[in-house]
Chain A
């Protein structure tokens, strides 16, 4: 690609097998700073597994992941979060019993400094002590974060702000997806991975979400997006990667990929399952 140096994330030969099934098969991918790449493909193509490999929730059987030029293959999800990688989950994983505010504050966990001194060995004990004593620096940090979280929640209009103290389990499905995205933004990510952010949303909600992702892209955030709704993919993506049975079968600008016979065959071959879902 010749852009190697500027790429924020690059995957080389990334592979994950489950028993006899190769869920992710020798995937290469380069993502430049500020770029938005969509990954599409029928259900079971291996998209979510690829996300798991990039975020450290699963470890590859072969291949490498590098982030900002550093090899981060097999690092723990905690480390990768601290590096600035945030994601949302396909099935939605909010903390059900936590309020909206607390959910989003967890997103900012890696940014806590005053209460989490970077002292080796006794660091955790200091953290416990500081949490109990709460000196003014800790209080100030917490206050500042809370204000910032309100600003993040305000991006969703009146969807979340009025429900800021409600437990996440009591929210509507669409609102829970929004909380997940707010939580990811709270990390101030350098790379954001969105796994089907509009699944189960109606057209109005989808349009809202599309607007938000466009805004984030305009702000310069680097985004990897898994999405079935092709119209949204075409509008937002700089490039589209198509996966099928673990392999990358096409890559390029949206219009080009859309007409690719291999892509059409992959979708038809799988009984249009995904097309139906995106229509639902």
Chain B
């Protein structure tokens, strides 16, 4: 019994921390219909500012909290002013991509400043525990509960009794009406981002103290948890976000009690997927809400794609095909092999995110499914490698589509959340399903690439093989785009309501897009597995998903040639300029931000 009380207390305390993140997300969503994917990064920044204050400046606890809140709020204001405000009148996908870019830039800046190694963040509180009923509670628990309650109270008073708070509520209710009544929406956004960031930063610091450890992986986890709590409570619903957070904390805590720690996140994401599917408006919203009317064709930036003549494409392809015949270094070939593998992933993502408008943030999961399937087929069942890779592609197509299918009825930002969560679920299942995936040990000794009994060992043969596979996939995708499916996909992206009114089933066509895209990504993962000879649950991670997304935006959403050009550019240019690995992700994030701001249609234009 006593342990149950402990788990309950622990669940509520952790839930309290999630609430600080989720309330910020809810406030932002309320006024700008935006899910701020950078919220976790502010939480990370808060944790590190707390570390600087405590460990280097030796500030007393109350001062530490104030320093963290103010510094984080400033970061939030900067994000609002320079990252999002310039995008106010742009297409709906722009702010979504911008917050993703900002989060990568912030995380990377923290990592470069403080190194990726975990650090200890002492809580400055006496290490005692009090008996409460059958469980125990420490001063830090009380502090977290106190901060949570105080913030809730302050927020309530602000929203209820201040003029700015009134403006925030009015904007959340009806933005256009609020603007007509003279509400300054920029000030409202500022207020909301400032508050959200302050809460998020303090939350990060408290969590660091709670576990006495901070590291840069905290960011993504916090974003995910905050989003889960917010969606469970109903996007934009502030009290709902608090209840959703407590519920999430309890679900996780009890889940850990029954199944063990490695299942903690699995429960969070399963809860998210269940809520998204069954009650996409949250637990407390009325079950049936008609979609708001005007959502016309403004999801992606309209543009006329750059037309590249066929002969030019043929010449370029021919040039790359004969490249190994010239005395090029191993290093160049290796770089281009990476570009071709990324190119296949980008082809897949540009179809899914660009052509049919489902901005997937968990695309690396498709690589992982393809890689594991192909590796296991060849190792366990001695399937020839060539066939195993195709098997990986098919498995990724089938399983990926099945996993994502519950979220086919979602739109815009929700699709991104769902794919992010499903990507995490895949990686957690790989980690925990030891009998099949060999868990954290990973799979080693994967046979090398081979075709019709000939091993492809030399860089030249691997180069040709991966290039040929990518070209075939690109040609198929190009053919798909010129068929009735291409126009059906694009119609669904531009206006899914009008598309349905003309008989296009969203389930059917989103499935077909994911089947085709899943196949390409699975093939890429399969080839990678045989190339690396060792894979584990971290080989295909969120960074690859984001890199692929940056490639796709760079090339132009939906643009097949753009996906390949973008891959060569983003793999090749950092090599050319010898940019150290740790700066690369920072550069990808900055590239993403600059593109969203200045050339949303990418280099070659959206199709």
Contacts and interface: CB of A to CB of B under 8 A. Distances in A.
Interface string A230-244: 000000000000000
Nearest to B486: A131
Given A96-B494, A97-B297, A106 B515 contact: no
A57 B488 contact: no
Contacts of B479: 132, 134
A109 B503 contact: yes
Interface string B451-494: 00000000000000000000000001001100111011011011
A128 B485 contact: yes
A237 to B, nearest CB: 24
A242 B505 CA distance: 34
Contacts of A115: 483-484
A177 interface: no
A199 interface: no
B297 A52 contact: no
A131 B300 contact: no
A224 B78 CA distance: 52
A43 interface: no
A98 B504 CA distance: 15
Contacts of A59: 288
A110 interface: yes
Interface stretch (A27-35, A64-72, A82-90): A82-90
Interface residues of B, number: 40
A95 interface: yes
Contact of B501 (A19, A87, A102, A103): A87
Given A105-B487, A124-B512, A167 B302 contact: yes
A124 B488 contact: no
A106 B297 contact: no
Nearest to B297: A96
Q: Could you say which of A76, A87, A109 has the most chain B C-beta atoms within 10 Å of its C-beta?
A: A109
A96 B502 contact: no
B304 interface: yes
Nearest to A58: B290
B511 A106 contact: no
B483 A94 contact: no
Contacts of B480: 131-132
B153 interface: no
A128 B494 contact: no
Given A59-B288, A183-B502, A98 B302 contact: no
Contact of B485 (A78, A107, A131): A131
Given A78-B504, A128-B515, A187-B502, A93 B487 contact: no
B502 A109 contact: yes
30 contacts: A52-B290, A76-B505, A77-B503, A78-B505, A81-B500, A81-B501, A92-B296, A93-B296, A94-B297, A94-B495, A95-B499, A96-B297, A96-B495, A97-B302, A98-B491, A98-B494, A102-B487, A105-B484, A106-B488, A106-B491, A106-B499, A109-B484, A110-B503, A115-B483, A124-B508, A124-B511, A128-B516, A132-B476, A132-B480, A134-B483
Interface of A: 18-19, 52, 55, 57-59, 76-78, 81-82, 86-87, 89, 91-98, 102-103, 105-107, 109-110, 112, 115, 124-125, 127-128, 131-132, 134, 142, 167-170, 183, 187
